[in-house]
Structure 1
């Protein structure tokens, strides 16, 4: 039913609210802003917290709608690795291996040590960051029937054109999706994703046969490329990739001057019976929101059972002139790390239950 026309006062109020949202998005955060927010919110579920951060701090900004991702010809899973088109050769699609390049390749500047000069030749460069991916499908029309999905999403960039996985589940280990929780649980990429030149996103997501069906269904199957000279830079964007029985909606950004942040944790004190942690990150200037450890968007075990190194590191792209806050979402002050070309910084965080963790953020470029 069409909406009722707004009164003059309602129109003015709506305009004022839009202006307030714009102000939130354009105003950089100070550490005091973050402190006031986390202390007032304390611990809430990640989905509710994300809503509160958007309403209170403008994090993240509303994404801009991109045109739908256009799948390349002969990019289905039965053709992409054996085809003879130019893009098959450019992205070396016959290689099925995971990237062997690690993160933190340029955390230290070898140039300065080797030539004995203070000049550094490394610089921030275009980088891709995928924040989340959601499933859209008519198969979820009935709220009582979840679906089980499996397959992979991988990014191939010019650093080695091997797969850098964001999602990777076999048919024997599917992810359950329902209308209330339609996120794919993404992996942290193995290393930062370079957009110094073009990169390609490889998608093959299927659903296991539902009751009464005999065959699995293909949700999305194909590849699309991101062209550095044509993509919108420094804009949080939402892009939909449509397939046979559904679509995947990506929230992503291509930073013009990105650096790679690798976050690792070493637990120094842990309660005797262990505990669950939640962790997110957000930035001061660009106001990006990173989901590191939660129950909905991330493929990560949140239980800490003993002291020592946490099993996972998290690799993200951050704009070079920004500050990254690491927040354990329990009401204490988040830890702030200023983005840099090189170097590592380590800071201590004390949990309210007495646990303590040393958080280290290492900065590197992705391309030399």
Structure 2
């Protein structure tokens, strides 16, 4: 694999079967005789250097490199080219970001972590995200602060008992969100704010977490943060933006609060393999957050809803999810239940035909915990339900299967 010629902005790339084009700030030309599998294209340090140099050259010159798929298809409408060069209204160009892969010691182990940077003029506290005329702000409609819709497939085409219209697709799954380090008081802090994703299927905000200042969560250094979202799958047929503004509540007035992380970055499929866990580190003013993600091929959506009813007495509930092939815990809820309530509705991406395992930890106190497990097999359509009777009340689980896109 050779470095691209910057004179030719349009380059070709072979994708695995069923995929479509991916937009990125980097580009390369794959060996036309190679097998159509991108996973082998990232293993070489030399290849990484070529891509990295092309990215730096493109950023310096303000060039946008477009990656195109030689296979045409109906999903091409979602395969957009995004200029994230940092071009401002007056025509000046600044480097957008620097994504570095580093080894970070954790409990005596060396873990591969991608330390990501932020786009220029993308912070919320100073309002710069709403100013300047960067292309990525226009393309992703950043000034629109509305939340994404909740699409449900209703246009099935059933033949011989199977739907031939809806198919598994390429989806980004957020596996975990972890508060790695605090540069303020390392004890428990009150955390609020949001992390959301924008993709080309619908550029509105798709929240991973969204915590109000009036109802912050209490976390400590090294803790996982429960994720109530996303509310729909995240399309990985084009570059996805990750937008975040998380703060630590200090006093009565917001202006005194500490900024944890603030900015916008992006995720695409050019820098790492599919179907494995990848850790991205976000450094902020008052701490560090790790976002563990996976780009899942042939994914279907598990729409998970949990309802707690007939509460007899207050209890603590921790609700985990595990998807087939991954050891990472997806924490969807951790809190106290004192009354009947609709607990959560989250969408989890999983490879078609594999499993989703749900784990419930129910306790009245830390020393007295009971665990309940339920397993569901992934499919394109269908509905699975379970009921869990405990001494504290009744918990109902509903998993509805769907796909992100149709053909």
Distance 1:321 1:63, change over 3 A: farther
TM-score scaled by length of structure 2: 0.61
CA distance in structure 1 between the aligned counterparts of 2:397 and 2:182, rounded to whole angstroms: 42
Query: How much does 1:94 deviate?
Result: 1.7
Q: State the structure with bigger RCO (CA 8 A, min sep 6), 1 or 2.
A: 1
How many residues align structurally? 287
Match of 1:164 among 177, 189, 206: 206
Q: What TM-score do you get using the length of structure 1 for normalisation? A: 0.67
- Output aligned runs, 1:169-184, within 5 Å: 169-179=211-221, 182-184=223-225
Query: Residue 402 of structure 2 corresponds to which residue in structure 1?
Result: 364
Residues 121-270 of structure 1: pairs in structure 2 closer than 5 A:
121-140=165-184, 142-143=185-186, 145-179=187-221, 182-209=223-250, 215-266=256-307, 270=310
**Is this contact kept in 1: 2:302–2:399, CA < 8 A?**
yes
Which residue number corresponds to residue 131 of structure 2?
82
Aligned-pair distance for 1:216?
3.5
The structure where helix makes up a greater share of residues is 1
- The whole-number CA distance in structure 2 between the counterparts of 1:109 and 1:256 is 23
* CA-based RMSD: 3.2
- Aligned partner of 2:164 among 88, 100, 120: 120
For each residue in 1:105-162, what CA deviation from the matched residue of structure 2 results, as whole angstroms up to 9, or x when unmatched?
A: 12x552338xx9956122111212222222344534x54x544333221111122101
Q: CA deviation at 1:273?
A: 3.5
1:194 offset after TM fit, Å? Answer: 1.9
Deviations 1:215-260 (CA, angstroms, capped at 9, x unpaired): 4332221111111344431111111012233222112212112211
Question: What's 2:339 paired with?
Answer: 305
What secondary structure, in the 3-state scheme, does the structure 1 residue paired with 2:158 have? helix
- Equivalent residue, structure 2, for 1:48: none
Structure number with the higher strand fraction is 2
Match of 1:54 in 2: none
Gaps of 5+ in 2: 1-108, 362-368
- Stretches of structure 1 lacking an aligned partner (at least 5 in a row): 1-61, 296-301
Q: For the residues of structure 1 that align with 2:394 and 2:226, how far apart are their CA atoms?
A: 27
Which residue of structure 2 aligns with residue 325 of structure 1?
Answer: 357
Match of 2:120 among 73, 77, 98: 73
Q: Within 2, Cα distance between the matches of 1:249 and 1:340? A: 30
